[in-house]
């Protein structure tokens, strides 16, 4: 949600600190700010509403010089988007400053108590109570560490908190509970960040904090302790696999386009994941009586496609529940396996589903993109998808990679339980190996045409995305893409569902996209085309996503994007790339904020 960064060094860090929140901006981007300790131990704050670029210019961040500082980029939860609600927040005596990610659920009670004790509040955020609480405790216990810990013990809810204080100007205090926080270790300089993008430009060595821990970080030390009893914790330093170049736009106008174009490589990476890891997941899936696959938003649709692949190629139909609903629907016990899917590995709802599963003794696995993320560390088995940093708030390459990995797990399970032969599995794998070239071909050959269609249809305010079987989750995912990047209303549904009500909407104001399978999927093909015919019979516009046919036949589409002949196993994945481009070009035509659409955040770490 929000991005947090901190640096403790011996020399001026102002430029580096601004860069840190620039790199974290995809986590939240309604306002941002910096608190810097200057040489005399005074804290200077600068903050405002707007993107890092805008605020940096408005406030001239560069004038805040210092060697210890914290910074924050916000995605508002409590309190509107205003300058006073932007982080960092200051204590009454200006001796402490704090930035926070998460939600403090008992903030109202604490605020009333602190107000009664004479504290003056300047914002309407839940965060501000934390800084007054530390100040309040400090008056009583006269030790920053004791005050910080006492304050953390009083907080209910989720937090990654970072604090600087004039009382101890050579260090940063930080703590986490259910919101990510990690520490980057440099040479006489240490970094704190809500994810590795905060400091990946400077160091690849990191220590991951666990829930209910705090840390005291100076330029050459980092001490981790447990909040409950102050016990010192030892933790291994991990080497991060990404580098800063991977998180640059590399000549593309937007990260979204760059990430769409990275998909051929991302598919290769997904196929190169150690087969033993894949088989481990397949075994887990088959050994237990019930298998759940869960995710939310895009990863819910990814889970759904996994469900279809499992059903078709492993003869097992897993339960797929959106992770925000998991606790209210799932039946979980020790005979249950849960596979969670998440790009960030930090999404609150999916983490919560895993926690629920673990508390009911389920065996858990996660497919995640971010190394060292909370999910990666809490599950029994983990697959790191290796898609590289996904900076655009809209998920594209990570989703495709997750689909491929789930298809691989389904195939491995199919071989294990005899649903398919090893030879057949090798055949499907070979088809997957051809997918990168097919995607490249679509990107090179079809982009122009897709762009033209997007421009011509950009006046349309409502879209239906329709598919059957494995094409149905892809249709839903494609509708989500259209909504989130172009702000155009879109619904994805099974094409067979159309005639049960939604068909009443068909008129000149609503466009449909039909995901037609290759013709060898005979039944699916016929049924999907009949839905397109139903729409055409009502004069509706239908864009068909089709594959080259053996013999030319007249298809019931207004327009069509014809893809090269593709095996059914990989066909839905190729169509998804087309739909990503359609959303992207619609959004660029409508001049949307592509990489940071309004109201969204890359990783949603609150309930």
Q: In the complex, which residues of this chain contact ligand AGP (CB under 6 A)?
A: 296-299, 342-344, 347, 350, 393-395, 484, 600, 603-604
Write 260-265 long-range contacts (CB < 8 A, 24+): 260/396, 260/397, 260/443, 260/577, 260/580, 260/581, 260/584, 261/443, 262/387, 262/388, 262/397, 263/396, 263/397, 263/400, 263/436, 263/439, 263/577, 264/435, 264/436, 264/437, 264/439, 264/440, 264/443, 265/436
Q: How far, in Å, CA of 586 to CA of 186, rounded? A: 43
522's CB contacts (< 8 A; 6+ apart) are none
Q: How far is the CB of 442 from ligand AGP (least distance, A)?
A: 20
DSSP 87: S
Residue 56: what are its φ and ψ, rounded to 5°?
-60, -40
Q: Which of 47, 204, 481, 602 is an active site residue?
A: 602
Q: How far is the CB of 195 from ligand AGP (least distance, A)?
A: 11
Q: How far is the CB of 70 from ligand AGP (least distance, A)?
A: 24
Strand order in the sheet with 222-226: 89-90, 96-104, 157-165, 172-177, 213-217, 222-226, 232-233
Q: Mark whether 289 is an active-site residue.
A: no
Nearer to ligand AGP, 137 or 300 (CB): 300
Nearest Cα neighbor of 572 from 471, 492, 478, 481 is 471
Nearest Cα neighbor of 211 from 354, 358, 373, 99 is 373
Nearest Cα neighbor of 33 from 16, 8, 51 is 51
Q: How far is the CB of 40 from ligand AGP (least distance, A)?
A: 42
Nearer to ligand AGP, 20 or 401 (CB): 401
Determine whether 580 is exposed, middle or buried from the number of CB atoms within 10 Å of its CB (0-12, 13-18, 19+). buried
Q: How far is the CB of 99 from ligand AGP (least distance, A)?
A: 22
Nearest Cα neighbor of 6 from 202, 232, 234, 184 is 184
Strands 3-8 and 43-49: unpaired
Q: How far, in Å, CA of 415 to CA of 421, rounded? A: 6
> DSSP letter string over 172-208?
EEEEEEBS--EEEE-SS-EEEESSGGGTTTT--EEEE
Nearer to ligand AGP, 240 or 600 (CB): 600
3-state secondary structure of 555: coil
Nearer to ligand AGP, 19 or 350 (CB): 350
Within 10 angstroms of residue 178's Cβ, the number of other Cβ atoms is: 21
Nearer to ligand AGP, 138 or 476 (CB): 476
Q: In the structure encoding, which two tokens stand for residue 298, read together?
A: 């895009």
Q: How far is the CB of 12 from ligand AGP (least distance, A)?
A: 34
Residue nearest to ligand AGP (CB): 297
Nearer to ligand AGP, 299 or 363 (CB): 299
Nearer to ligand AGP, 132 or 592 (CB): 592
Strand order in the sheet with 43-49: 43-49, 31-37, 68-74, 3-8, 190-193, 182-185, 205-208, 238-239
Q: How far is the CB of 602 from ligand AGP (least distance, A)?
A: 7
Nearer to ligand AGP, 399 or 439 (CB): 399
148's CB contacts (< 8 A; 6+ apart) are 134, 137, 163, 173, 175, 214
Cα angle: 321, vertex 482, 20; to 5 degrees:
85
Nearer to ligand AGP, 177 or 395 (CB): 395
Q: How far is the CB of 505 from ligand AGP (least distance, A)?
A: 24
Find the radius of gyration of the CA atoms of the chain. Answer: 25
Q: How far is the CB of 465 from ligand AGP (least distance, A)?
A: 15
186's CB contacts (< 8 A; 6+ apart) are 199, 202, 203, 205
Nearer to ligand AGP, 363 or 395 (CB): 395
| Cα distances (angstroms) measured from residue 223 to each of 101, 187, 190, 512 | 21, 16, 12, 57
Q: Mark whether 552 is an active-site residue.
A: no
Q: How far is the CB of 375 from ligand AGP (least distance, A)?
A: 8
Q: Does the bond joining 158 to the residue before it have cis omega, within 30 degrees of 0?
A: no
Task: Catalogue the active-site residues.
Answer: 2, 602
């Amino acid at each position: 949600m929000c991005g947090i960064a901190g640096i403790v060094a011996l020399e001026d860090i102002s430029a580096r600190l601004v860069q840190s929140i620039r790199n974290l901006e995809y986590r939240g981007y309604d306002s941002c700010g910096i608190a810097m300790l200057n040489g005399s131990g005074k804290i200077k704050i600068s903050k405002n509403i707007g993107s890092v670029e805008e605020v940096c210019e408005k406030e001239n961040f560069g004038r805040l010089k210092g060697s210890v500082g914290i910074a924050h980029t916000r995605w508002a939860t409590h309190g509107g988007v205003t300058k006073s609600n932007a982080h960092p927040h200051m204590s009454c005596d200006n001796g402490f400053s704090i930035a926070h990610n998460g939600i403090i659920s008992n903030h109202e009670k604490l605020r009333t108590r602190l107000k009664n004790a004479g504290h003056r509040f300047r914002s309407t955020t839940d965060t501000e109570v934390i800084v007054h609480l530390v100040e309040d405790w400090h008056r009583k216990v006269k030790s920053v560490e004791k005050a910080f810990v006492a304050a953390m013990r009083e907080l209910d809810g989720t937090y990654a908190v970072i604090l600087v204080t004039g009382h101890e100007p050579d260090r940063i205090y930080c703590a986490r509970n259910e919101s990510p926080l990690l520490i980057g270790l440099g040479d006489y300089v240490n970094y704190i960040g809500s994810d590795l993008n905060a400091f990946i430009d400077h160091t690849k060595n990191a220590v991951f904090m666990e829930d209910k821990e705090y840390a005291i970080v100076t330029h050459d030390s980092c001490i981790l302790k447990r909040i409950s009893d102050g016990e010192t914790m030892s933790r291994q330093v991990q080497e991060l696999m990404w580098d800063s170049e991977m998180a640059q736009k590399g000549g593309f106008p937007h990260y979204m386009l760059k990430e769409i174009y990275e998909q051929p490589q991302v598919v290769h990476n997904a196929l190169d994941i150690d087969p033993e890891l894949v088989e481990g997941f397949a075994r887990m899936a088959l050994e237990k009586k019930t298998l759940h696959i869960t995710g939310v938003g895009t990863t819910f649709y990814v889970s759904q496609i996994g469900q279809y692949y499992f059903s078709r190629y492993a003869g097992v139909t897993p339960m797929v529940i959106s992770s925000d609903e998991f606790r209210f629907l799932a039946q979980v016990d020790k005979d249950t396996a849960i596979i969670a899917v998440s790009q960030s590995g930090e999404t609150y709802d999916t983490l919560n589903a895993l926690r629920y599963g673990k508390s009911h003794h389920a065996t858990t696995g996660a497919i995640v993109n971010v190394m060292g993320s909370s999910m990666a560390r809490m599950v029994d088995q983990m697959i790191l998808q290796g898609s590289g940093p996904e900076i655009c708030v809209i998920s594209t390459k990570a989703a495709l990679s997750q689909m491929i990995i789930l298809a691989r797990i389904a195939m491995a399970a199919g071989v294990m339980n005899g649903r398919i032969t090893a030879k057949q599995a090798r055949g499907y794998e070979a088809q997957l190996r051809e997918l990168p070239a097919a995607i490249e071909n679509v990107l090179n050959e079809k982009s122009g045409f897709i762009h033209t269609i997007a421009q011509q249809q950009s006046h349309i305010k409502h879209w239906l995305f329709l598919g059957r079987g494995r094409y149905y989750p892809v249709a839903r995912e494609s509708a989500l893409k259209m909504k989130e990047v172009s702000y155009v209303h879109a619904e994805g549904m099974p094409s067979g569902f159309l005639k049960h009500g939604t068909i009443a909407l068909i008129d000149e104001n609503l466009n449909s996209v039909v995901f037609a399978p290759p013709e060898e999927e005979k039944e699916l093909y016929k049924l999907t085309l009949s839905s397109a015919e139903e729409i055409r019979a009502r004069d509706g516009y239908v864009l068909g996503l089709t594959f080259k046919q053996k013999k030319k036949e007249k298809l019931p589409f207004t327009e069509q994007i014809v893809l090269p002949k593709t095996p059914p196993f990989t066909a839905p994945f190729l169509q998804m790339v087309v739909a990503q481009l359609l959303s992207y070009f619609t959004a660029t035509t409508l001049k949307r904020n592509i990489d940071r659409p309004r109201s969204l955040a890359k990783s949603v770490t609150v309930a």
